[in-house]
A and B are shown apart, each in its own frame.
Chain A
Amino acid sequence: MVSKEQILNTLRMVVDPELGINVVDLGLIYGVEVKNKTIDITMTLTTVGCPLHESMVEAVRHVAQMSDLTKIVDVHLVWDPPWTPERLTPSAKAILGQ
């Protein structure tokens, strides 16, 4: 069975085209739960009304699906808690020139 870490690793393939940073390092992925029949992913975006909205959600869903074709992938987009810059990983901060 595919592990949470494996899924997180594959999610690094989904990159924000504006910032050039993947969704995991941006801190957009709040949680990944691998269950018997489903993979539940909870994520956010940096801004409400982000124009990349559906594109990012769909890319995350697709990549997670590719890691295990037998499961149903559910991506939940949440705004609470809102994203803050503290969620950036050190490598993302380095790219942003922090």
Chain B
Amino acid sequence: MTQPTTIASSLAPPFSMVGKYFLAAIASFVLLSGLLVFNASELQGHYFQPKLLALTHIATLGWITMVMFGAMYQLIPVVLEVKLFSAKLGELQFWVYLLGILGLVYGFWNFQVGSHFTASAALVMLAILLFVVNVFFTMTKVTNWNLTGFYLLTSLVYLAATAIAGFLLSINLGFPFISRIHLDYLKIHAHLGFIGWVVMVIMGVSLKLIPMFGLSHGFSAMPAKIAYVLVNIGLLGTTVEWLLVGPEWLLRVYIILLVAGIFCFLLQLALIARQRIKKSLDLGMRFSAVAFGYFFLSTMAGVLLVFGDIGDVKTKEALVLAYGSTVLFGFFSSLIVGQMYKIVPFLVWFHTYSDRAGKEPVPMLKDMFNERLGIIQFGLFNLGLIAVILGLFIVSSRLVHAGFILMFISSVIFAVNIGNVFRLRMHNGLQRADS
């Protein structure tokens, strides 16, 4: 009988393409964590400051969206059982995107918002649109649509909208043309990105991955379906109200729908967790579980901001920053770190060992990184984050600073730990053709 060619070659895109996104994301994460240590004082008062905008975009573009690009290129072919439209386009997109982010972050940091800045924003937008086109054409070949697919397809629309809104905002910073105040549009840009793109993808992907990792079977997916409808109506409605400045009560209705959708999704996760066969939480799932806890907290903080009627400006500013930090670090970073502990070992295993399985001893995924080191990282990260959130609340720059130091150490440990997984590929895979 003939041996098939490398198993990894069938649906999965090349390791080198997906791996680039992951490595760049980890580098951004460490850079972000390091910069926060030295610029903790920027995180006070109003959020619209050059360095804070630079840090936010390292987080959202360099870390969060970068890793999501890699993960989606990896997962979509598997989850939706199709071949990626073009791996070459994915490779090209990476470089355009990287160049764009570097220019954009430099422009924000030094607040040089002229034509170079706008050109960088254009590159970021172009790269994002390349991604949207690539995934969209991949999806045209899908025959087995599922709820995850709908979530991902919808997220593409929001991603494109976020990128276009961001590009327009970048022009407006240098050459003001939008008559309304900039911050109104910034709010739309941020929420389209965070909820429409990031949260939408997280919802769709969780629906597939969390049951897969926990071996959950026989749960109802109804809450996830309701969540899909509510979050979309809520987000679209909120955006339109913000854009047209409609009546306040209508805006509140849309926000309630949005929040109800998020709670439906959290209920879905609880159902999945209850049905799981694999009871113990490994490192990756521990990070993920805590992340969803922060998601709940940040949603509550968001509700408080909208309905709390906080008169005091200082308290409101502190709450906005605490809300932002809980979403960015508590929810997104924690979930990404957790899922990378699941996805990266799998990715390396798949491309390095999958065609040796059953023929020679191959490692288990959890043996490919140092779990104990990961648990220390987990502790440092959460201790640091709690210090940061608390410090922002009680306006203690010392506490915020201490928190960021712990989170930076944690990010370095993560980079080393996941870096070692990549090195397994270098040691074992280089003599084989890159599959």
Interface residues of A, Cβ cutoff 8 Å to B: 13-15, 17-20, 46-47, 49-56, 58-60, 62-63, 65, 72-73, 83-85, 88, 93, 96-98
Listed from nearest, the 4 A-B pairs whose CB atoms lie closest are A59-B358, A97-B279, A55-B354, A59-B357
**Chain B 353-367 interface 0/1 with A at a Cβ cutoff of 8 Å (1 = within):** 111011100111110
| B215 interfacial contact with A, CB 8 Å | yes
Task: Determine the chain A residues whose CB is within 8 A of the CB of B213 once the complex forms.
Answer: 18
Of the residues A14, A18, A83, contact of B358 by C-beta under 8 Å: A14
The distance in angstroms between the C-alpha atoms of A91 and B360, with both chains bound, is: 23
The distance in angstroms between the C-alpha atoms of A62 and B354, with both chains bound, is: 12
The number of residue pairs between A and B whose CB atoms lie closer than 8 Å in the complex comes to 84
Task: Determine the chain B residues whose CB is within 8 A of the CB of A56 once the complex forms.
Answer: 357
Number of interface residues of B (CB under 8 A): 35
Task: Determine the chain A residues whose CB is within 8 A of the CB of B358 once the complex forms.
Answer: 13-14, 58-60, 62-63
6 contacts between A and B (CB under 8 A): A13-B358, A17-B357, A18-B365, A49-B208, A51-B78, A60-B358
Residue of B nearest to A93 (CB): B277
A57–chain B nearest beta-carbon distance, Å: 9
Asked if residues A50 and B279 are in contact (CB atoms below 8 Å), the reply is: no
The distance in angstroms between the C-alpha atoms of A55 and B362, with both chains bound, is: 12
The distance in angstroms between the C-alpha atoms of A68 and B355, with both chains bound, is: 20
| B349 interfacial contact with A, CB 8 Å | yes
| B141 interfacial contact with A, CB 8 Å | no
Which residues of B, 348-406, contact A by the 8 Å Cβ criterion? 349-350, 353-355, 357-359, 362-366
| B10 interfacial contact with A, CB 8 Å | yes
- Most A CB atoms within 10 A — which of B79, B280, B357, B358? B358
- Most B CB atoms within 10 A — which of A19, A60, A73? A19
Residue of B nearest to A58 (CB): B7
